[in-house]
Amino acid sequence: MKNKARPQRTDQLRVVPLSCPDCSGVLRMNREGRHKHVVYRCQVDHRYTPNSLLEAKEKQVERVLWSAVVLLKQLDEAYGHMLKDMPAEADRQSLQRRVQEAARQCLAIRAMIESTHAP
């Protein structure tokens, strides 16, 4: 007796150049159901419609960008602590330039996040 609930064999699915937003696994595309709707599925069976995949990818991008903002702010803090204890002026100037660069990068990333209007 065949089990209809079993997923299709993965060799029947077409690999796409996208990773799963939840687990970073390889996504495969298949057309399922009577109307042959597109479904994306990874190795651990996370499933996405085209719209849900786009939404998940948009959220993933936003999370990564906010992570970059947090890391740049932490880097700024670390440089601030180092600058307090750094006697050599040449070294201080180099670190101060990097602090300014990190601040510019942080502002640029925040502007990217705030200007993105996902559909």
Q: Please state, in angstroms and rounded to a whole number, the distance separating the CA atoms of residues 19 and 21.
A: 6
Instruction: Determine contact, residues 106/67, Cβ cutoff 8 Å.
Output: no
10-22 per-position pLDDT tens digit: 446 799 999 999 9
Amino acid sitting at position 33:
G
Q: Is the dihedral of CA 78, 80, 82, 88 positive or negative?
A: positive
Q: Please state, in angstroms and rounded to a whole number, the distance separating the CA atoms of residues 45 and 8.
A: 11
- pTM summary value: 0.73
38 has which bridge partners?
31
Residue 10 has what pLDDT? 45
47 has which bridge partners?
41
21-49 per-position pLDDT tens digit: 999 999 999 998 888 899 999 999 999 99
Q: How confident is the model at residue 4 (pLDDT cuts 50, 70, 90)?
A: low
51-62 per-position pLDDT tens digit: 999 999 999 999
